[in-house]
């Protein structure tokens, strides 16, 4: 811990005990029902009870302990007995942890490096001269599938400021190294990835997964990239039907799979067995931070078999990607690396909560499909992190946004752990509008959560009731959401 002496800083003197006292006060306010926070809080008088709830509370207590143990002085935390208390406690502890880490690194700036040779945050070790330009990060392997591929496989990791900046850095690097790029991609890849590629028309050609290299001019698009995206709704395994002879490099967005997913392992094995270099990109804000979005963080992992030709080609691509990160200012920020990751205890917690999210989403798909018209209304995704509800009539963007807000408000007023949020992987169900690339229309996305089955069933009932009340299956009738509940509503 770095302490600032009172004599030097006067009234600005703080240490971890001050932050601890503040965090305990905030936790006490949470239990008493007082609200002094910007944003939506998660208090609820409902105590979790029912089949499987002991396992749920056990998971949440282990996650809370994992975060709390990163504080210099561990706060006293009352045992949580509800989903709302578990969610709010995790977010408050994360805020205290970020504040303490900021205080401890008060002397470190973009270019004022630590006096010690290296700066650590949990399992991560940092060194730099100018953070934006030359930040070096040493940490645990992201994918054990690469480490298990054998001694002849090499890998290199580059961290970025987000998942999208990871993808953008690689695409720009390919353009710098090879000129034009032909990208084979399945329908339904991540919307902003598609938007990025479309913005580079003339330099990037996007072709359907089943198309061969002959469908585009190889002199204009010499680099042949296969994009495998974990977020597609279906057809994820279709890459296996392709010939490796038509591919130069595999670009794999793993964001919607757990880091040790068997699907990641199978893709890595397929590419390396075909002697294809593979580049794995990821957003770590979703599944890798225990549902609290600790910081904005992405990564690029290059893996290849160590033949002389592949080593030279990948070394060039790695350097070009690092240059892209530097020149576009999208380097990772050390404060955004969660200090509670990288241990066996973290991996066990992360695996358990990810599995629970998948179970909850599948339960919602089954329950909603049975009562809302099956696949005509309920869109299932192969990753099982979220589903989509398609209204009976196509809605304009403004209308579907209002619908998502109104649905979220209605469920929140019933004390349910639901929030209006544009991501997934939380401990609360997240509702947001979504453009479905397969249906080519706006829908409402509902992201599953690590919640007890009894709570998920209440959410299913509430969604069905709201959907029917507003005639969403035929002619939707949507009022604007109640403005006050979007800021100060509780569960």
Domains recognised in the chain with CATH numbers? 6-107 (no CATH), 124-336 (3.40.640.10), 345-488 (3.90.1150)
Q: Residue 480: what pLDDT?
A: 57
Q: Residue 250: what pLDDT?
A: 97
Is-contact 417 427, C-beta < 8 A?
yes
Q: Is 484 a residue whose pLDDT tops 70?
A: no
Average pLDDT for the chain: 86
What would the mean pLDDT of 246-272 be, rounded to a whole number?
96
Task: Please give the Cα distance from 398 to 392 (Å, whole number).
Answer: 16
pTM confidence score: 0.88
Q: Residue 9: what pLDDT?
A: 39
| Across 89-103, 305-319, 335-349, least confident range | 305-319
Enumerate residues 6+ apart whose C-beta is below 8 A from 354: 258, 287, 425
With cut-offs at 50, 70 and 90, classify the pLDDT of residue 57: very high
Q: Is 240 a residue whose pLDDT tops 90?
A: yes
Q: Residue 404: what pLDDT?
A: 94
Q: Is 253 a residue whose pLDDT tops 80?
A: yes
Largest pairwise CA distance in the chain: 73
- The distance in angstroms from the start CA to the end CA of the chain is 37
Which residue, among 329, 325, 280, has the nearest Cα to 172 in the 3D structure?
325
Which tokens is 394 given? 């196509």
Q: What are phi and psi of 76, to 5 degrees?
A: -80, 125
What would the mean pLDDT of 88-106 be, rounded to a whole number?
92
Q: Judging by DSSP bridges, how do beta strands 386-389 and 378-380 pair with one another? A: antiparallel
- How far CA 223 is from CA of 53, 155, 217, 317, in Å, comes to 52, 21, 11, 12
Q: Residue 15: what pLDDT?
A: 54
């Amino acid at each position: 811990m770095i302490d600032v002496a009172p004599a030097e800083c006067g009234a600005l003197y703080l240490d971890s005990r001050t932050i601890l006292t503040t965090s305990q006060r905030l936790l006490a306010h949470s239990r008493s029902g007082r609200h002094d926070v910007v944003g939506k809080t998660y208090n609820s008088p409902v105590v979790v009870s029912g089949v499987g709830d002991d396992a749920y509370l056990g998971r949440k207590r282990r996650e809370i302990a994992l975060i709390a143990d990163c504080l210099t002085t561990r706060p006293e935390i009352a045992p949580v007995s509800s989903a709302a208390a578990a969610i709010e406690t995790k977010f408050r502890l994360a805020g205290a942890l970020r504040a303490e880490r900021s205080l401890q690194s008060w002397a470190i700036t973009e270019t004022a490096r630590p006096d010690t040779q290296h700066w650590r945050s949990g399992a991560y070790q940092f060194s730099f001269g100018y953070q934006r330009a030359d930040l070096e990060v040493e940490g645990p392997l992201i994918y054990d599938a690469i480490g298990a591929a054998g001694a002849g496989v090499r890998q290199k990791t580059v961290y970025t400021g987000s998942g999208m900046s990871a993808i953008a850095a690689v695409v720009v690097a390919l353009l710098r190294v090879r000129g034009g790029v032909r990208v084979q991609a399945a329908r339904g890849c991540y919307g902003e990835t598609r938007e990025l590629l479309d913005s580079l028309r003339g330099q990037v050609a996007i072709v359907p997964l089943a198309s061969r290299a002959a469908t585009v001019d190889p002199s204009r698009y010499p680099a042949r990239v296969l994009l495998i995206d974990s977020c597609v709704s279906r057809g994820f395994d279709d890459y296996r039907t392709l010939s490796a002879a038509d591919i130069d490099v595999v670009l794999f967005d793993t964001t919607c799979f757990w880091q040790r997913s068997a699907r990641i392992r199978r893709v890595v094995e397929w590419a390396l067995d075909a002697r294809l270099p593979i580049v794995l990109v990821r957003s770590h804000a979703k599944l890798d931070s225990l549902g609290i979005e600790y910081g904005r963080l992405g990564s690029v992992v290059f893996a290849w078999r160590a033949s002389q030709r592949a080593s030279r080609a990948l070394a060039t691509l790695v350097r070009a990607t690092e240059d892209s990160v530097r020149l576009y200012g999208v380097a990772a920020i050390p404060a955004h690396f969660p200090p509670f990751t990288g241990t066996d205890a973290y991996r066990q917690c992360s695996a358990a909560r990810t599995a629970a999210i998948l179970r909850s989403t599948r339960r919602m798909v089954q329950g909603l499909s049975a009562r809302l018209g099956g696949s005509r209304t309920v869109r299932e995704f192969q990753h099982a992190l979220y589903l989509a509800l398609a209204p009976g009539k196509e809605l304009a963007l403004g209308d579907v946004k209002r619908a998502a807000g109104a649905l979220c408000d209605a469920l929140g007023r019933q004390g349910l752990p639901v929030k209006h949020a544009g991501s997934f992987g939380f401990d609360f169900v997240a509702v947001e509008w979504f453009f479905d690339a397969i249906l080519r229309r706006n829908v409402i996305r509902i992201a599953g959560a690590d919640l007890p089955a009894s709570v998920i069933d209440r959410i299913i009932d509430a969604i069905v009731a709201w959907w029917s009340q507003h005639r969403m299956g035929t002619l939707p009738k949507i009022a604007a959401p109640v403005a006050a509940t979007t800021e100060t509503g509780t569960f």
